Amino acid sequence: MESVRSLFQPITHKLPVPIRDLGVSIIGETCYKSLLLDINPEDTECLKLAVSKGLGIGIIGASSIVKVPQLIKLVKSKSAAGVSFLSYLLETAAYLIGLAYNFRQENPISTYGETGLILAQNMVIATLVLNYSGKSTSAALFIATLAAVAYSLFNSNLVPMANLQYLQAGAGVLGVASKLPQILAIYQQGGTGQLSAFAVFNYLAGSLSRIFTTLQEVDDKLILYGFIAGFALNAVLASQMVYYWNGPSAKSLGKQKEKLPVAQFASSTSSSTASPKAKQPASLRRRG
């Protein structure tokens, strides 16, 4: 260990001030000194905190693009097949409540920062789903309602903290319930349609990481239980994605079956309307 310290300490002790300040702001003065200046990997508490902060920052970074593939699929196909609006509605409500709760509780942003980014992407996706379903008026109403609810949740005069705690408990239930319509839609259609695999598997990894970061940095069972339940249902969605990978949906199979009798009828009709001369034996046709 002394050889490792002698190798890295000359570097860590001469880090530029902006980098040092950033490190201190992330893991604190004590852990910065222990891990970077003293090079003490045996300090397990600081090590777990550093891992938690790293995971949190990674989740926030990934969340900025986690729904982009889903957006691209929707825009390119101009179809909302396989994507449940109810699922996005419930999830958006849960994220909005969670964002307001964490912000007003003054929790570290590394433990919930992705909430706002995913919330914004969810709003766009839900709006596209409504538009592609021919419900543009409902899309406008959806956005206006969210804006009004957000204003109320962040305003302590309108929604006291005690009431927001009850809403956060309900948000955990909404977060779980938001996955059920999507799971059901995939099962009924026999395929994942326009659902993005990138988003599904990132949600799975993110919810697992959030269990760890919450245990390390936030002593709040309401948030923890929500992430545990979310991970369980994200695992179900990921399993469906694997099971139905590249498989045709039930709707497309149904359309193929509907077209088959028509094709057979057309074939039989064309053969029955062939000219009488074509039906004659070859020998008679040559005589004619």
The predicted-structure confidence for 58-112, as pLDDT tens digits, reads as follows: 888 877 787 888 888 888 888 877 778 888 888 899 899 999 999 998 888 878 8
Q: Which amino acid is at 73?
A: K
The predicted-structure confidence for 181-235, as pLDDT tens digits, reads as follows: 888 888 887 777 767 777 788 878 888 888 888 888 887 787 888 888 888 888 9
Strands (E), the chain: none
Helix and strand numbers (H, E) in the chain are 13, 0
Q: Which amino acid is at 258?
A: E
* CA dihedral for 139, 63, 236, 231, sign (positive or negative): negative
